[in-house]
Structure 1
Amino acid sequence: MEDSIAALSRLAGEQLLDTAVRYVEERHWDVLAGCWLEVDEGGAPRCSCASGACSAPGAHPTRPDWAAQVSGSAAAVRRMWQRQPRASVLLPTGRTFDVIDVPESAGFHALARMERMDLPLGPVISTPARRLAFLVLPGAAAKVADLPSVLGRPSGALDLVARGEGDWVAAPPTRMGGGGVAQWARRPTALNRWLPDIEEVLRPLAYACGRQAAGARGR
């Protein structure tokens, strides 16, 4: 049994490494090896950071100075996973892209609407926390902070989070708290190599988040 678990862990680590290298080589994204999920004595998953109060089990940097460890070199990424074979794949935001993080239901509604409108779209990550993360050009975080003047409503009224410089997003196929896996709702392809500006997708996303908030208040 232990041998089979070790074999599965090794295969998972190889998949994470291979994927991280592809992100660097094919998309020119910077990558960071983060914490990972382990199994405690009772068989429950826990974060490798060993904190009982961990807010992002298996999906956060391993050290405070993580920004200095980020790399866009395939050789450096391979060295990261040699040291931490089960590490999660983290992508720092505020560099080649920012991320707009919204609830899953609102995100899929906005995604379908934007596809019908033929708006430019980049890759989109789906997380086990039932969130969608839309990749957009850097600088989005500052523009989202200006939501009141753009949309005529307070930014705090919408469950729409911008992740820019100093933040990160867990990338597929990272396992996260609860045993779920980050997946691509819209995979990176040659057709979406060029990311949209936040101004091209902000209104549909904000509209979908606003509809969800109104529905929640009406229940």
Structure 2
Amino acid sequence: MEETIAGTEAAQIPQQRGESLQDTAVRYAEERHWDVFPGTWLDAVDGVQHCSCGDPACAVPGAHPARADWASVATGSATVARRLWAKQPAASILLPTGLTFDAIDVPETAGFLALARMRRMELTLGPVTCTPDRRMQFFVLPGAGVKVPDLVRRLGWPVASLDLDVLGEGAYVAAPPTRFGARGAVQWACRPTPANRWLPDVEELISPLAYACGREARR
């Protein structure tokens, strides 16, 4: 069952309910052919949730890799994914970038503004996540990191002035419904559907994203 949470004019954010982390991870591998790997999880101590990593000052409790060699654990096999989450059903769902997709990471306010512009421009969108730390990640074809600096400069924006990052090889994103401690869960601003199985190239989305981040920077 899906519950739709009102956002802005830009998007409605669907929230999955009644599905285990294991089932969701398996579905990402099986239906989207995304590599997945289990991250840390939340442990309750005296009624307070703490990250399984044991660091009381953890910046993203319950939503980061649990081991340094996480890239070697990532799998695109639904069978292996099911086995991994059977060992720790509460583990967060993390998706390595740079393989089947890169992610353009921007502030939430800029992301919703960019979504509104993209829809007016009738651009084809891939999945987009919205995180509890008020960031959004736009899924695009791999290789975006090489293209973005030149594309942004061509649009007239100083690259260093924009809060716009590319998550590619060696990085990862947290996938819904992973929780960030008490801050809430990652959700889909644009959920995966059969229509967006084929991802856009970053060149198609960079103009509204750069504009939105530039506007945010001027604030």
Alignment TM-score, normalising by the size of structure 2 = 0.88
CA distance in 2, matches of 1:179, 1:119: 31
| Amino acid aligned to 1:18 | D
1:79 corresponds in structure 2 to: 83
Aligned to 2:27: 22
Judged with a 3 Å threshold, the aligned counterparts in structure 2 of structure 1 residues 173 and 148 are, in CA distance, closer, same or farther, namely closer
The TM-score normalised by the length of structure 1 is: 0.88
* 1:176 maps onto 2:171 in alignment: no
Q: CA deviation at 1:14?
A: 6.2
> What are the ranges of 5 or more consecutive residues in structure 1 without an aligned counterpart?
1-11
- The one-letter amino acid of 1:73's match is S
2:103 is aligned to 99
- Matched with 2:142 is 138
How far is 1:70 from its partner?
A: 0.3
Count how many residue pairs are aligned between Structure 1 and Structure 2.
203
**Backbone CA RMSD of aligned residues:** 1.6
Match of 2:153 in 1: 149
Output the amino acid matched with 2:139: L
- Aligned residues of 2:133 and 2:183 also touching (Cα < 8 A): no
1:55-92 deviation per Cα after TM superposition (whole angstroms, max 9, x unaligned): 22111111111100000001110111111111000010
Q: Give 1:44 shift.
A: 2.2
Which structure has the bigger radius of gyration? 1
Question: Partner of 1:146: helix, strand, or coil?
Answer: helix
Q: Secondary structure at the match of 1:71?
A: coil
Q: What is the correspondence of 1:138-217 to structure 2 with a 5 Å cutoff?
A: 138-146=142-150, 149-214=153-218, 216=219
8 Å CA contact 2:39, 2:63 repeated in 1? yes
Read off the aligned partner of 1:92 and give its amino acid letter: P
Q: Secondary structure at the match of 1:135?
A: strand
**CA distance in 2 between partners of 1:53 and 1:73 (Å):** 34
CA contact (8 A) 1:147 1:154 kept: no
More helix by share: 1
Tell me the distance in 2 between the aligned counterparts of 1:13 and 1:191: 24
1:141–1:34 distance in 2 versus 1, CA, 3 Å: same
Asked if 1 retains the 8 angstrom alpha-carbon contact of 2:157 and 2:214, the reply is no
The verdict on how the C-alpha distance between 1:213 and 1:167 changes in structure 2, with shifts beyond 3 A counting, is same
Of 120, 126, 131, 2:130 maps to 126
Q: Indicate how the Cα distance of structure 1 residues 82 and 13 shifts in structure 2: closer, same or farther if over 3 A, else same.
A: farther
Amino acid at match of 1:122: G
Aligned partner (choices 35, 39, 50) of residue 40 of structure 2: 35
Identity among equivalent pairs (%): 63
1:149, distance to aligned residue in structure 2 (A)? 3.0
User: How big is each residue's C-alpha offset from its partner over 1:11-64, in whole Å with a ceiling of 9 and x where there is no partner?
Assistant: x996111111111111110000110112222x2221110112322211111111
Q: Answer whether contact 1:36 1:58 (CA < 8 A) is retained.
A: yes
What is the alpha-carbon distance in structure 1 between the residues aligned to residue 152 and residue 116 of structure 2? 25
> Which of the pair is proportionally richer in strand?
2
Provide structure 2 residue ranges, at least 5 long, that are not aligned to the other structure.
Answer: 1-16
